[in-house]
Structure 1
Amino acid sequence: MASSPLSCSASDLYPLLGDGANATAAAEFICGRFEAISNKFVDTGYAVDNTYLLFSAYLVFAMQLGFAMLCAGSVRAKNTMNIMLTNVLDAAAGGLFYYTFGFALAFGSPSNGFIGQHFFGLSKFPSPSFDYGYFLYQWAFAIAVAGITSGSIAERTQFVAYLIYSSFLTGLVYPIVSHWFWSADGWASPARAENLLFGSGVIDFAGSGVVHLVGAIAGLWGSLIEGPRIGRFDHAGRAVALRGHSGTLVVLGTFLLWFGWYGFNPGSFINIMKSYESGSYYGQWSAIGRTAVTTTLAGCTAALTTLFGKRLLVGHWNVTDVCNGLLGGFAAITGGCSVVDPWAAVLCGFVSAWVLIGCNKLAEKLRYDDPLEATQLHGGCGAWGIIFTALFAKEAYVNEVYPGQPGRPYGLFMGGGARLLAAHIVQILAIVAWVSVSMGTLFFILHKLKLLRISAEEEMAGMDLTSHGGLAYVYTDHEDELKKQLGVV
């Protein structure tokens, strides 16, 4: 993280200090002071970089509150407590399982290309490779994946199923994917010392694939196996809107996620105190600022494109659609945020808005029900972000962010050839295959054991009343009457 200490040799100073009796002592004294000052600078560098990483981890963790508010506003009032509790437990259960297994499987180096082998339970921590702040940052990413999936299966999933899938996803499924693409040992990592996939590795800087596509595919299988909510489609197969109960919470959650994304994307540099050219005003701090700008522009463009696109398609302005469009832009730019120019981020956001609109139309045609559009948003826009990076990654930025490999491929449309695009297509296929097998099998087993979906009676009454002891918004007479009808004590 920080630079190595500067060296000082007393023997080099002797000729400069003359032949006096005190020359040796003076040279040793000067070098001792020099080395002490140098070590202080190194210590300061570590402190600055770790503080930056911890602050970024706090921002990413704040996204969990954003997910909670977004989910709460997007479901009906009778399921508010349920979805809020699942978001709390994503963080709590995810913390223990990522501590016990997940971090080791993801970053336990040295290891093979497919799975990590060290640091279980944070043994031998801190190490020259990782400090505690890095664990906290990666844990915040892991629970974000579980939050994506919870939105896809909201309003109809048994509480025990939430606990099982969240623990499995954060403790095993997601860590293995992050090892493939983010660990220095991963088979498709751009940080490998040799044998890079297609000469480049996969450039998925903050996780359009590793985070967003993984959460989306997991949610896709859960929602497919469960089937749509009661009343989501009529007898003729036409979609019926089951609107969330609070646009206010949706907007609040969106802004909290926007705020957290500045830890998600710029924070993925891990350190800030790194110069690209010694003594220059331009360095990693500049790249971090550019990443924040590309993130902002992609989200803003996607929001406006969705606003006017939906106005043309349905004839009115819809705040929920705009919020989802904004988040879709963020999901798309996440993979390439550090290696593209701001103008390319605008294009990324524009296309992502139409990808989301198209995925939602397709979902309706296929009678697929996702209460938060999580699969369409994180899956469709995440996949577009993976392709976008392979098309628009700029050579200079790629070499800055991933140094040490001269001639590394970059974006196809920027003159870098098709090797990066080939690597990114492999990434999409690998994620879809692994998550489909692992999470699809888990959801299928839960379904066969009758642990996945709640009963029709519970779904009609709402999970707050049947599973959590009462409604989030208390209307005493109404609640008492429902309890009598259902025989709930």
Structure 2
Amino acid sequence: MASTLSCAASDLAPLLGGGPNSTAMATFLCSRFSAISDQFSDTSYAINNTYLLFSAYLVFAMQLGFAMLCAGSVRAKNTMNIMLTNGPRIGRFDRAGRSVALRGHSASLVVLGSFLLWFGWYGFNPGSFLTILKVYGSSGSYYGQWSAVGRTAVTTTLAGCTAALTTLFGKRLLAGHWNVTDVCNGLLGGFAAITSGCSVVDPWAAIVCGFVAAWVLIGCNKLAEKCNYDDPLEAAQLHGGCGAWGLLFTGLFAKGVYVDEVYGGPGKRPHGLFMGGGGRLLAAQIVQILVICGWVSVTMGPLFYGLHKLKLLRISSEDEMQGMDMTRHGGFAYAYHDEDDLSMKPSGVMMRRVEPTSASPTSYENSPAV
């Protein structure tokens, strides 16, 4: 913004009458004007850096949310194996190959972690601009990057909320019951999908993105069950499936004027197919999906294969059945455990202490005389 403020003494002197003192007066005024302009520049620099630091703090909050989400979604037992190469967790599928739901550790932690991720996503998407005080074109001071930041926050919110509500009612129709953890995963699926094009699409398009992302997540979960693929966090389905849809969505709905404003550069950039931009951006997004899959396979495949061969990728069956709280951490994490969880009850005969009641004698003083 400060770069548009300039003053030249030669241009100002004629306006001051052109007398012998006009040049000196114009020079003085321009020097004061330059000082004020420098102060504006320093203020803009401070605001942009404060915005960047606050966005980084929000992204840090996402890490806390992800940790809570992981802790709430899985239990202390049966949690180490989420890789297809190792097979599903013990008890995840019955002998006929049918899916058996394994309860998570804490729905409260899942919800709290999801809200922290939601909070942090505003640093992840709007914060990716790095600066906020930037004017677009010759619009003056009423339209600039701050407008794109606000639009990005709106599209992020709409996509996540739409996906959460769609997942809520969609799973209710398919499963016959309400499930808060499904809503949380749907919310995050909407966020993952909109992240690709959050700054270059209209709010109405974000609603479309979230609606489709919810069904992509539900479909990927169904496919995972058919393939006996076990992922307690639904991470591959959520980030892989919904993320791939988000890339395709950007190639379809990216608006040309937003693309030019946000990314700049000479000439017109390709934009969404449905927005009149042709298929160049969509083709680039498809190539990007293939490149990401190839890159992850080449880099992570050997790593996990090596860990698998070294027996570092999965705990033993004994540890998995008994629970890592007992085998690795010295005891249960809580002072109580679920009474209806048969896997936590010792095998064999259980003896229970019977407390005396008011009807039974507790001492010789209450015994009848003989």
Give the 3-state SS of the residue equivalent to 2:304 in structure 1.
helix
Q: Give the TM-score normalised by the residue count of structure 1.
A: 0.65
Residues of 2 paired with 1:32 and 1:5: CA distance? Answer: 16
2:100 counterpart SS class: coil
Counterpart in the other structure of 1:279: 140
Matched, 1:50 2:49: yes
Q: Which whole-Å deviations, capped at 9, do the CAs of 1:376-417 have from their partners, x for residues lacking one?
A: 011100000000000011111111112223221110111110
1:340 pairs with 2:201: yes
- Deviation, 1:243, is 1.4
Question: Aligned partner of 1:474: which letter?
Answer: A
Partner of 1:263: 123
Q: Quote the offset at 1:292 in angstroms.
A: 1.0
**1:251 partner SS:** helix
Residue 19 (structure 1) shift:
4.4
Query: 1:403: which partner in 2?
Result: 264
User: 1:70 touches 1:249 (CA, 8 Å); kept in 2?
Assistant: yes
Does the 8 Å CA contact 1:5/1:42 hold for their aligned counterparts? Answer: no
**Alpha-carbon distance in structure 2 between the residues aligned to 1:308 and 1:27:** 70
Letter in 1 for 2:170: G
Shift, 1:344, TM fit: 0.8
Q: CA deviation at 1:23?
A: 5.1
State the alpha-carbon separation in 1 of the partners of residues 270 and 64 from structure 2. Answer: 38
Where does the alignment leave 5 or more consecutive residues of structure 2 unmatched? 348-370
| Aligned residue number for residue 237 of structure 1 | 97
Amino acid at match of 2:45: Y
Compare relative contact order (CA 8 Å, sep 6+) and give the higher one, 1 or 2.
1
Q: Write the distance in 1 (CA, Å) between the matches of 2:23 and 2:211.
A: 68
What displacement does 1:327 show? 0.9
Considering fraction of residues, name the structure with more helix.
1
The offset of 1:18, in angstroms, is 4.0
1:24, CA displacement in angstroms? 5.3
Residue number among 254, 262, 275 corresponding to 1:393 in the alignment: 254
| Residues 45-194 of structure 1 mapped to structure 2, 5 A cutoff | 45-76=44-75, 78=76, 155-156=79-80
Does the residue aligned with 1:399 lie in a helix, a strand or coil?
helix
Matched residues in 2 for 1:27 and 1:280: separation?
26
Q: C-alpha distance in 1, partners of 2:253/2:25? A: 57
CA distance in 2, matches of 1:301, 1:5: 41
Instruction: Give the aligned partner of residue 357 of structure 2.
Output: none
Aligned length: 339
2:88 is the alignment partner of 1:228: yes
1:202 alignment partner in structure 2: none
Contact residue 232 and residue 242 of structure 1 kept, 8 A = yes
Displacement, 1:8? 3.5
Give the counterpart of 1:353 among 211, 214, 225: 214
Counterpart amino acid of 1:381? C
The answer to whether the 8 Å contact 1:17/1:27 transfers is: no
Deviation by residue 1:25-84 (Cα, 9 ceiling, x = unmatched): 4444323222211111111111111111111111111111111111111112x35xxxxx
In structure 1, distance between residues paired with 2:194 and 2:234? 18
Separation in 1, partners of 2:335, 2:187: 33
Specify the alignment match of 1:29 in structure 2: 28
What per-residue deviation string (whole Å, max 9, x for no partner) do you get for residues 235-293 of structure 1? Answer: 22111111102111111111111111111111112111112244352222122111111
1:41 corresponds to: 40
Moved more, 56-65 or 384-393: 56-65
Is 1:251 the equivalent of 2:111?
yes
**1:182-221 equivalence runs, <5 A:** none
How far apart, CA to CA, are the structure 2 residues paired with 1:242 and 1:44?
Answer: 54
1:292 equivalent in alignment to 2:153: yes
Give the structure-2-normalised TM-score. 0.86
1:443 correspondence with 2:304 = yes
Percent identity over the alignment is 76
Amino acid at match of 1:155: T
Larger Cα-atom Rg? 2
| One-letter amino acid of the structure 2 residue matched with residue 233 of structure 1 | F
Distance 2:182 2:13 in 1: 73
The answer to whether the 8 A contact 1:5-1:38 is kept is: no
Coordinate RMSD, CA, aligned: 2.3
8 Å CA contact 1:5, 1:35 repeated in 2: no
State how far apart, in whole Å, the 2-side matches of 1:361 and 1:423 are: 29
Match of 2:227 among 366, 378, 388: 366
* AA of the residue aligned to 1:62: A
2:87–2:230 contact (8 Å) kept in structure 1: yes
State the distance in 1 between where 2:261 and 2:2 align. 17
Inter-partner Cα distance in structure 2 for 1:379 and 1:346: 20
How much has 1:418 moved relative to structure 2?
0.5
The answer to whether the 8 A contact 1:409-1:416 is kept is: yes
Q: In 2, are the aligned partners of 1:5 and 1:39 still within 8 Å (CA)?
A: no
